[in-house]
Amino acid sequence: MTIEKRYDFVFLFDVQDGNPNGDPDAGNLPRIDPETGMGLVTDVCLKRKVRNFVQMTQDSQTHDIFIREKGILNNLIDEAHEQESVKNKEKSEKTEAARQYMCSRYYDIRTFGAVMTTGKNAGQVRGPVQLTFSRSVDPIITLEHSITRMAVTNEKDASETGDNRTMGRKFTVPYGLYRCHGFVSANFAKQTGFSDEDLELFWQALINMFDHDHSAARGQMNARGLYVFEHSNDLGDAPADTLFKRVQVTKKDSVEVARNFDDYTVCISEQDLGETKLHRKLG
């Protein structure tokens, strides 16, 4: 059954001695707002981790992933047109039938949406779940580290350097606490078939995805807070911005430079929420 209520949520996560989201246009430096010094993590970065978690934990035909590593999207779209439920449709109805098939099979399509007009047309889908860029609570600094590899890639390099050492660079953020805002639309969920079970899986993914995404580049990343505002209907009871302002994250007065999550205080105002409910999924 598709969800029938609107949800807005605040998601907190942090990084220690790692690069949460490198910018390929800046030599893979951590993304940063140059005017404020605040760190940034893109929405697609978090969506990738959600997709990876679902692909890792679910083996149902209805929880396949459309945007996956080394996937060829046009081939997957073409497969939809080969299904009996699509082939038997009139030409004018094939696109809509293919769109419905893709939504029913691929979790990330019915969650985040997709453009499926690059091969045989399967239409476009606007997903019910949308994320903002994540922004650090305080300005971050980026550190550059020299690293040494005790090997070369070929004999030519070995003869030119005289030994097998090659130098490299690694960029990290000593510590950063990031805040992301998200929205779940019941109206768009009706178009994709996004269900209550899909929503619960999404919450699980946000809470657990970093535990299955460790790498030398990302250091230690953890989900720190997930605060979900559940409205009483599909249109919502209050503007999302007024709800987000109820979640205040501040650095403790005794802390000059934050280096872990305990250096912050999270305060949530739960008074006068009316029919809106607050669920503390984490934190």
pLDDT for position 162? 62
Per DSSP, the three-state class of 152 is coil
CB of 1 within 8 A of CB of 186? no
pLDDT tens, residue by residue, 54-100:
999 999 999 999 999 889 999 999 999 999 889 888 888 999 999 99
Taking residues 263-282, report their average pLDDT: 97
pLDDT for position 119? 84
CB of 185 within 8 A of CB of 231? no
Burial of 35 (0-12, 13-18, 19+ CB in 10 A): exposed
Question: Which residues lie across from 126 on neighbouring strands?
Answer: 113
pLDDT tens, residue by residue, 128-186:
999 999 999 999 999 988 888 777 777 776 666 566 677 778 999 999 999 999 999 99
Bridge-based pairing state of the strands 113-115 and 38-41:
unpaired
pLDDT tens, residue by residue, 243-258:
999 999 999 999 999 9
Q: Is the pTM of this model over 0.85?
A: yes
Percent of the chain, pLDDT > 70? 97
Tokens found for residue 49: 């981790």
Residues in CB range of 30: below 8 A, 6 or more apart: 19, 20, 21, 22, 23, 39, 140, 142, 171, 172, 173
Domain boundaries, the chain: 7-155+169-282
